[in-house]
Amino acid sequence: MPIQTCPNCGTRNRVNEVVALAHKPVCGKCGASLDTVSKPQIVSDASFANDVIAASSSLPVLVDAWAEWCGPCRMVAPVLDQLAAAANGRYKIAKLNVDENPRTSAQFNIRSIPTLLIFKNGKLVDSIVGVQPKQAIAARLAAVAN
């Protein structure tokens, strides 16, 4: 069963996809609706120009450069899920697997993961290397979004 993070309280909830089709899933802790939770978009070498560079002309895009085997990447993932759920059209969150997309990783000189890249107006405007608290990531994103 997939796990969805509540956009209201941050609680991780297991959501049975079959049952969710018939009933709107709600958070087990606070009762907030989970059906409108947006997730980070998966991007690749092939889609990066359109999904990140072009999309950043209308709103900022934060790209999480990660790998499956990376423990710190798994620590940042729930934070990015929460930020994506709270975006409300102010910004976009994307995920780039560096093992599967070496061209984009090399283009932006990604040497350590997790690395968060923030794009605005088609250009890289900020980067964050390593695990950071949610508040720090949100503040850097908000600074670009305003």
Architecture of the domain whose range is 1-36: Roll (2.30)
* Token pair for 104: 């984009």
The angle at the Cα of 78, spanning 76 to 80, to the nearest 5 degrees, equals 70
For the chain, give every residue range classified as CATH 2.30.30.380: 1-36
Q: What is the dotted CATH code of the domain comprising 38-145?
A: 3.40.30.10
Q: How far apart are the C-alpha atoms of 42 and 143, rounded to whole Å?
A: 24
Q: pLDDT value at position 23?
A: 78
* Token pair for 144: 């670009």
pLDDT at 61 over 60: yes
Residues in the chain: 146
In this prediction, residues 39-59 reach a mean pLDDT of: 93
CA distances from 69 to 38, 57, 74, 75 (A): 24, 32, 9, 12
For the chain, give every residue range classified as CATH 3.40.30.10: 38-145
Helix or strand or coil: residue 19? helix
Instruction: Please check whether residue 2 is in contact with residue 17, taking contact to mean a CB–CB distance below 8 angstroms.
Output: yes
Q: pLDDT value at position 11?
A: 87
Residue carrying the six token digits 């994103």: 141
Q: How far apart are the C-alpha atoms of 87 and 37, rounded to whole Å?
A: 10
DSSP strand pairing (115-120 vs 61-66): antiparallel
* More confident of the two residues 113 and 145: 113
Q: pLDDT value at position 21?
A: 66
Q: Show which residues are catalytic.
A: 70, 73
From the list 128, 124, 130, 123, the residue with the least C-alpha distance to 140 is 128
Low-confidence winner among 8-12, 85-89, 106-110 (lowest mean pLDDT): 85-89
pTM of this prediction exceeds 0.85: no
* Token pair for 129: 């290397």
The angle at the Cα of 31, spanning 28 to 34, to the nearest 5 degrees, equals 85
